[in-house]
């Protein structure tokens, strides 16, 4: 039946306990070319192990290459696990694993709804209607044990890309809310579901940012705390906040909990948390809106009507998104020549106001988790990290993230009054800070030690693929 086997060793060099971590193994077949369905995987005790094969290359209907996912666990102080890929020229019957469940999508633009065993996730294409509930990305995210959708009423999203396009100077806001993404299946199976999301960002005012394409790869795994995404953006060079910006982006993970409620109420870095407090940009936008209201009231009246804002509502109480939508050319809230003039003034004022404000420019160092809701504008700009944790002090659920690239600044918002929580890879005045090509590994749940969890994200398991051997040789 099986003629050859490939021994594979997986090393846990740090000897940490690991639970249900995804492991990708790339196999090149040379001595023996198996049937695509002629592979079994056994552990060192000859127990059959579930696996998922994808990304295959064939020659005469036989495999010459395949990527294979397994889900691997290690006990504390366990350094090594050994496996054998058994190879046959004929199809072999394998044990079926239920694994990840594909469920009926619940949202109008839902592409896939997954029960991973750990999470319920709905990945959406977006509807381009301009509001939070029209954004592409993950718009339903629920830890099964907790049973709460972190995005209340599906009125926001994780994983959207905002900068460099989301700047007032570009006259464009919320690309996730103003575009529909294409989604392709890379693999869907019991252990891993991977999707390629891609599209062209809507054009704003700046020529150097027009017709830029974006790709995101989303990976979800069976019974794993981790989900992984990688971001790729066309090359660009522009200026934001008075500084050159090249091939960086703003990724935004947003939570909506409802008014006077916070699902996450503290923020930490792996080491001391260095940050600047407060976000002056919103105040600058409000000031500009009030100036326009005094100078050209019809512009604001017409914009409020277009954006479905109560005509009697004072701009100071508008939803945050409407400050930005006011200056978005896609919303057509004012003539283009007026928009171009206003956004140029906003960009200049924002740069001057933020960087001449001595209080804002002070760097705070905290050894304890930061109570962001108590800071100015319930916002901090966290400095220089790639390992972060947001925690709910009442229930001990945490959102842990690791980036393979360092992030110079992060915008962190935890605003109890509205229930809005934001983790964004941008600095002041919407300057993007995540390098294109970055991968973010995320986990949500209760962790005895979140630093150990993020260490494991960084300290990959090591795979050693040994020589193909003939069985009974």
pLDDT above 80 (res 63): yes
What is the Cα–Cα distance from 179 to 129, expressed in whole angstroms?
8
Between 421 and 337, where is the model more confident?
Answer: 421
| Tens-digit pLDDT profile for residues 434-471 | 999 999 999 999 999 999 999 999 999 999 999 999 99
**Residues 174-196: tens digit of each pLDDT:** 678 889 999 999 999 999 999 99
Digit-coded pLDDT (tens) for 97-147: 889 999 999 999 999 999 999 999 999 999 998 888 999 999 999 999 999
Average of pLDDT values for 282-288?
82
**pLDDT tens digits, residue range 322-366?**
777 788 787 888 888 888 888 888 888 889 999 999 999 999 999
Strands 110-115 and 137-143, how do they pair?
Answer: unpaired
**Closest C-alpha among 113, 176, 169, 164 to residue 141:** 113
Which pLDDT band holds residue 281 (cuts at 50, 70, 90)? confident
Q: Choose among 473, 471, 340: nearest CA to 6.
A: 471
> For the chain, what percent of residues have pLDDT higher than 70?
99
At 332 the pLDDT is 83
pLDDT at 174: 65
Specify the pLDDT at position 473. 58
% of the chain exceeding 90 in pLDDT: 75
Which pTM value belongs to this model? 0.93
In degrees, to the nearest 5, what angle opens at C-alpha 95 toward C-alphas 90 and 99? 125
Which residues are registered as beta bridge partners of 469? 5
Domains (ranges, CATH) in the chain? 4-98+459-470 (2.60.40.2210), 101-280+358-458 (2.70.98.10), 282-355 (no CATH)
């Amino acid at each position: 039946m099986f003629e050859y086997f490939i021994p594979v060793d997986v090393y846990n060099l740090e000897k940490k306990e690991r639970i249900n971590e995804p492991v990708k193994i790339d196999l090149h077949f040379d001595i023996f070319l198996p049937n695509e369905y002629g592979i079994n995987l056994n552990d060192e005790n000859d127990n059959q192990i579930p696996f998922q094969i994808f990304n295959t290359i064939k020659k005469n209907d036989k495999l010459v290459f395949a990527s294979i996912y397994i889900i691997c666990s290690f006990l504390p102080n366990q350094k090594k696990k050994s496996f054998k890929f058994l190879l046959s020229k004929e199809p072999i019957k394998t044990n079926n694993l239920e694994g990840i469940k594909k469920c009926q999508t619940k949202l109008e633009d839902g592409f896939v709804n997954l029960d991973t065993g750990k999470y319920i996730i709905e990945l959406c294409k977006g509807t381009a209607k301009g509001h939070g509930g029209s954004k592409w990305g993950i718009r339903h995210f629920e830890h099964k044990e907790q049973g709460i959708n972190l995005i209340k009423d599906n009125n926001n999203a994780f994983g959207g890309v905002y900068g460099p396009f989301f700047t007032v100077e570009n006259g464009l806001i919320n690309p996730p809310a103003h575009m529909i993404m294409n989604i392709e299946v890379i693999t869907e199976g019991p252990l891993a579901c991977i999707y390629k999301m891609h599209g062209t960002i809507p054009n704003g005012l700046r020529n150097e940012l027009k017709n830029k394409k974006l790709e995101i790869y989303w990976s979800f795994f069976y019974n794993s705390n981790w989900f992984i995404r990688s971001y790729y953006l066309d090359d660009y060079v522009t200026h934001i906040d008075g500084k050159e910006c090249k091939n960086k982006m703003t990724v935004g993970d947003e939570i909506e909990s409802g008014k006077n409620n916070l699902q996450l109420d503290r923020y930490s870095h792996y080491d001391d948390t260095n940050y600047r407090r407060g976000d002056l940009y919103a105040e600058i936008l409000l000031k500009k809106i009030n100036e326009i209201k005094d100078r050209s009231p019809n512009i604001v009246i017409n914009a409020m009507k277009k954006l479905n804002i109560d005509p009697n509502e004072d701009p100071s109480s508008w939803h945050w998104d409407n400050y930005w939508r006011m200056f978005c050319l896609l919303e057509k809230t004012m003539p283009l020549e007026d928009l171009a003039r206003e956004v140029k003034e906003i960009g200049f004022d924002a740069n001057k106001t933020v960087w001449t404000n001595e209080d804002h420019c002070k760097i705070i160092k905290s050894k304890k988790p930061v109570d962001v809701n108590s800071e100015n504008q319930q916002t901090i700009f966290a400095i220089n990290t790639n390992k972060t944790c947001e925690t709910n002090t009442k229930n001990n659920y945490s959102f842990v993230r690791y980036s393979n690239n360092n992030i110079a600044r992060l915008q962190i918002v935890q605003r109890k009054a509205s229930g809005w929580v934001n983790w964004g890879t941008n600095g002041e005045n919407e300057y993007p800070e995540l390098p294109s090509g970055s991968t973010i590994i995320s986990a949500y749940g209760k962790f005895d030690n979140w630093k150990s969890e993020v260490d494991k994200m960084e300290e990959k398991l090591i795979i050693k693929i040994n020589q193909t051997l003939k069985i009974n040789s």
